[in-house]
Amino acid sequence: MIRIVMSKEEVLAAIHECAAQIGHVPSFPELTKLTKVRRRAIFTHFGTYTEALRACGLERTGPGYEVSPREMFLDWAGVTRSLGMVPSMGDYGLKGRYSVRPFLRCYRGWKQVAMGMQEYIQKNGLEGEWGDVLDIITRFLETGGKRGWTSGAGMQKPTFMQDEPVYGDPLMHPVMSHGPTNEMGVLFLFATMAQELGFKVMRVQAAFPDCEAMRRVEPGRWQKSRIEFEKESRNFLAHMHPAAHCDLIVCWIHNWKECPVEVLELSKLVRFSNG
């Protein structure tokens, strides 16, 4: 008997294999051209292709792909948290994953976005996880929409010098004096800690994944680990890497709650200076 519909596991495996083959998250036409997956299998198990990709830990973005309220919130809230204040349209355009269009369609204006995000936090009971962002939004709305630095009461935000380099928080580390501000900094910090963390690096490359290393899993027993370096773990999703072909994400900040890959967050393993 010929099976008409593939199983859910077969669909997920086919999507991962297709992504690895073409080097990016496949569009639905690409998937059906290169695999045996058909529309009926997607509809039966997931409802939409977007949900199938989400089940794989993958995501397609860009023109023609709808951004869900949850995705908009997570990205907007992440930008707000990193800035310490409600982002302007320009701020979000520079730091956000999406364009401002989905927000404008949903909230009918940029000034209404903060109010909509406040309602989303309260409606979904996210005050615990996103309490700091809720405080920023509340202060923003209480001051009539005035944006300001929130890192210290009564303090004026220092002038940011555009032409000068930026450093992370001071560290108490024998080799690296400040926390990494980019992916290369994460790679370097990992290299200084690799031995104590139980890794022996075999290869570092420009292609995905960034690194292959042997990892001590038990006394006298090692296994190969495919490693991707990211400043923030969520960047793995933004770069559309196939999760099935990575064993470990090494990052400075872990901010991807639903991450399907093991994460090593270096900021939790070093001591910070009080300076």
How many independent structural domains does the chain possess? 3
Integer Cα distance of 53 and 66 in angstroms: 13
* Measured distance CA(166)–CA(99) in Å, rounded: 26
pLDDT per position as a tens digit, 72-90: 899 899 999 988 889 888 7
**4 or 7, higher pLDDT:** 7
Q: Which residues of 175-206 are buried (b: 16+ CB within 10 A; e: fewer)?
A: ebeebbeebebbbebbeebbeeeebeeeeeee
Query: Quick one: 263 and 191 in the same domain?
Result: yes
Identify whether 175 is part of a domain: no
190 with 247, same domain: the answer is yes
Residue 122 has pLDDT above 50, yes or no: yes
| 173 occurs within a structural domain | no
pLDDT given at position 178: 92
* Residue 49 belongs to domain spanning: 8-55
pTM: 0.48
Q: Quick check: is 164 in a domain?
A: no
pLDDT tens digit sequence for 251-263: 999 998 889 999 9
For the segment 8-48, what is each residue's pLDDT rounded down to a tens digit? Answer: 888 988 998 888 888 778 888 888 889 989 888 888 888 87
> Tell me, what's the pLDDT at 59?
65
**Are 94 and 135 in a shared domain?**
yes
187 and 250 assigned to the same domain: yes
Q: Highest mean pLDDT: which of 103-112, 117-126, 149-158?
A: 117-126
Task: Check pLDDT > 70 for residue 102.
Answer: yes
Among 142, 169, 201, the domain-final residue is 142
Q: How confident is the model at residue 153 (pLDDT cuts 50, 70, 90)?
A: very low
CA distance 219 to 124: 45
Q: Does residue 226 sit in the same domain as residue 250? A: yes
On average, the pLDDT of the chain sits at 84
Q: Is the pLDDT of residue 62 over 80?
A: no
73 shares its domain with 132: yes
Whether 126 and 81 map to the same domain: the answer is yes
Whether residue 133 is found in the same domain as residue 200: no
- Does residue 223 form part of some domain? yes
